[in-house]
Structure 1
């Protein structure tokens, strides 16, 4: 199993934000800290905002803040949101790919169960559990 970079980067951003939940974080600052594309992080931040995880504000004091306490944000819910539209296997996607055993496959149901258990297991942890250490101001 492999999470997309979209999810990986989104989790990194949230881990930093959880270290100072009352602070607004700009996408530019996060991109610089993690040495990632600002454009890519902007798209991730938009998805997190649409999913109700963060709130974004424009302007001089703008940036993104967590909408809830890190202790209330379940990791499985975040992964499900960020992996939205990704399929575990080709046969899960539209058109079912090039699968020739669709009618008799017993693997698909097991993969769906495993995916559900993966999300359930992640939901036992919160963003608070994986928050990065707070940064000391220079």
Structure 2
């Protein structure tokens, strides 16, 4: 199974905001830091705000920040909100499905994966904040994201 780019961007946005919890961040800043599509990030941030992960502030000096502490946002919760489904295979049309155990095994696999994701928060992903901030600053042509 592979997570979508949408989920990847959602996690990157949340990590970025957690790294810069002392200030508001802009979508343009995140876009430059991760070389990600600004338009795609706008959609991601809108969904994250709608789902209560991100708080947005309008206006000239506006931006976004985490809506709650990074320690309270699990990777599993983000994945559940950003992925459409978790079906690894479509067994519905298979002639063997009434007697086959594959769908049950796949369902157990997905449940195990989500259980692992539920065991980690966004804060857990920030192993070395100083190095992470430095790497973001190097990527950004304007040095945005430095502390």
TM-score by length of 2: 0.79
Q: Give ranges in structure 2 of 5+ residues lacking alignment.
A: 134-144
> Could you tell me which residue of structure 2 aligns to residue 52 of structure 1?
52
Q: Give ranges in structure 1 of 5+ residues lacking alignment.
A: none
- Render the CA deviation track for 1:78-112: whole Å, top value 9, x for unaligned: 111111x13433427xxx4x544333331112211
Tell me the C-alpha RMSD between the 2 structures.
Answer: 1.9
1:57 and 1:99 map into 2 onto residues whose CA distance is: 50
> Could you tell me which residue of structure 1 aligns to residue 137 of structure 2?
none
> Could you tell me which residue of structure 1 aligns to residue 36 of structure 2?
36
Q: How many residues align?
A: 132
> Could you tell me which residue of structure 1 aligns to residue 73 of structure 2?
73
- Render the CA deviation track for 1:3-31: whole Å, top value 9, x for unaligned: 11111111111111111223222111111
2:94 and 2:36 map into 1 onto residues whose CA distance is: 36
- 8 Å contact from structure 1 (residues 18, 128) kept in 2: yes
TM-score by length of 1: 0.84
Point out 4+ residue stretches in structure 1 off by more than 6 angstroms.
none
Distance 1:122 1:70, change over 3 A: same
- 8 Å contact from structure 1 (residues 17, 65) kept in 2: yes
